Amino acid sequence: MMVGNQSLRASTSFMTNDAISTHRINVFKVLLLLNFFGAFWFAIVNFNRDLQLLAWLELIIVLITALALWRIRKPIPFNTYLSLATTYVVFFGCFLLFALNHPGVSQNIHIWITTIPLMTYLLLGSRRGLLLTSLFLGLVVTWHLMHFDFLTFWQSLAAVANVVCVVMAIWGMSHAYELANEKAQQQLQTMATRDHLTGLMNRSLLNQTFQQACEETAFDQQIVGLIVADIDHFKTINDQYGHEVGDQVLKAFADILRQCTNRPELAFRLGGEEFCLIIPNTTCLQAGQLAEQLRQNLRKHPLHQLGINEPVTVSCGIATSDTPDLPFKKLHADADRRMYLAKAQGRDQVMTQD
């Protein structure tokens, strides 16, 4: 009945990136500003030390940093940010490896290795941070093994041990912090976008999810359907059996929605006993059949353990759109009106037309 599409599923879960990307872009701007002035200063210093190649490379970094700052002066898509930040981290790492191998460079340059875990994790998150940090530190270790001198190593053992311990400590803390931060962001996103009682999406993402469904179906010139469902006599259930039983009825219907659609990211609780389901790639007939399945499944759902012996019913209104520019407000109003028409004509039914 419905064609599954991972883009819609990803789009709702990917909403977390909006909050994360704002934080990361702000961090990126600060790092770029520090990099801009720092690279300019070191270029002057290295020109005075007659390290011409290193100084010119640092001036190139100044130019690249300025271009990156100009690029992110306005909001950018998350994927664009990831590309820019990844390129920046890789370029910084390559430059640092080059500087480590450049004659005449101070041994203090090793302290810059400690910035790699912080930079990669803050800019790119836990998975990319772990990958790039492991890759870069692996290259640093390989470079040192290729130039290994036992006498020099023994004389600088304390310094090497300090650098290794600091790098590992910063790496571990960066990884732990980023995992905790991402988990907290996901929890906040869940709290902001999901109904706490039923676990369905709440109405905060309803309009955006509908627009994404329209974009998905526009390529195939298919129809987007909308079901608005309202549990009948719900106030009576609350008054007669109590609000805890009413909550269990809402949860039961939410489970039925999930079972019938297999697309939980498209099922919403609008508030109270009213629910909504977005159906991409469907027809009015198919949307009506799905609504009828919802109605029958709720009617047959056993609620004896809650003390409810009579069937609980639901009234549904259907609306469909075959144009991607149809406002969600209009489609929802059509489905909502038909839902109330179903209630006016006796409840426990599905209305697809006025």
Q: Token digits for 281?
A: 């790639």
Closest CA to 313 of 303, 323, 328, 327: 303
CA distances from 166 to 42, 162, 187, 207, 228 (A): 24, 6, 31, 49, 58
Q: Are 53 and 103 in contact (CB under 8 A)?
A: no
Indicate the DSSP class of residue 6: H
Query: Which residues form the catalytic set?
Result: 273
* Contact assessment for residue 249 and residue 234, using Cβ atoms and an 8 Å cutoff: yes
Q: Which two tokens stand for residue 153?
A: 């190593």
Q: Which residue has the tokens 């271009």?
A: 67
In angstroms, rounded to a whole number, what is the distance separating the alpha carbons of residues 256 and 252? 6
DSSP code of residue 311: P
For residue 83, give the nearest of 144, 142, 28 by alpha carbon.
28
Residue 46: what residue type?
A: N
Tell me the CA distances in angstroms from 33 to 27, 41, 68, 70, 119, one per residue in order: 10, 12, 10, 11, 14
**Residue 314 dihedral angles phi and psi, to the nearest 5°:** -140, 145
For the chain, counts of helices (H) and of strands (E): 12, 5
